[in-house]
Structure 1
């Protein structure tokens, strides 16, 4: 009478295969494109490119000074067996300066630390053979200046003065000599640096001293004008006297480090050995 409803027969083997397949189906993963470069670690963003420090030129400056001093010493040490070759003070100064400039250009440091050679007229009026300058970026204005005057052994200077007639000088040089005749060459350099301020240093560079004719020394200061205020005459003996009480001689890099780290307006006087 009633309708018989038939139940589907379950196949145990099919059922087990179905649940087994659910357990073993791997989760879907995105495909990896081998051409895409791996993502950088978050820690890599913490590393910053090295910042150029304003004093990075100091080792390069030291290399330039070393090359110039070594080259100049070759002439200071040379003894001509025939006694015909006598390099003049002018030649020695040019050898040092040209070697320094060539090396500084090779090391690409002229945008940070500049060197300006003086004209003959400027050398007479200002008392400087050249001027070094630490430059600001990006203006390239001089932040610190070092006016350099080269001092030679007295016998070399006397020989040059006796060998060059005054009429050989140009008219402009003779005018500069008359204009500055009331001051010594040492005082002209000090006056020049004083007119600029405490960030301008006078450096007297000795190509040989009385007790050591084969090495190069220097006396640097931004406070020589204090001697003028005490009515002391600035001459060669006055400058050489700084070495007598000196217990320590700075290296060229030590000199430059002391200059750039000095507090603005403070006086600074150093004795340096360049060779």
Structure 2
């Protein structure tokens, strides 16, 4: 995340030291895990169902994750950090870098509400979180009087990101179908999920502590999430009856490639839901 140093009171050395402490004291993550994709026809059907319920594919993913975490034994409210782009702001318009911040969202997910009723709640939660895009998590912790302990500043969290790459330069190239879009951290204490959409469909990568319990927990969550998305997309011609729409096997992650010769670099992929 890119923020002016004086906003955080941290210089580059302090940030490097923060990363080293987190790596030393949090559980190691291992490698990111790509999961079977929702292929293009199924992704379009899912998006259509979300819009018919007053949402978007992004808010549908948030709502589906909230319901899935709840159904896996979690609380009746889904809390996560969601990245938002700051590049559109005037002061960063001609800068180079990854200008994002992660904002908190809290989505009520009471068991008596149908899944489609969670979509407007997800949108409201995201809009509320986006109003806090100028406040960095570390800065918020300090303003609230919390400890400067970096592990306490980054408690166990869920993280959910969604990007639509179909309008990015080179989106028609076969290499863009590789389900390998994610950030990597050598250590964490939560579940990080990256959804990205390409012309081949909707992909998911997860990163979590590399422990037996975490592997079992996240694998079960992803299975429940798949069923939840199928339920959300169910309508005329149910998604579950179209096996060609839903991936049937793992996807091998590939190393991201640099820009094509003669291109200064692709523009940022379009974020859904106004992000």
Q: TM-score, normalised by structure 2?
A: 0.27
User: Larger radius of gyration, structure 1 or 2?
Assistant: 1
Q: TM-score, normalised by structure 1?
A: 0.27
Answer 1 or 2: higher relative contact order, Cα 8 Å, separation at least 6.
2
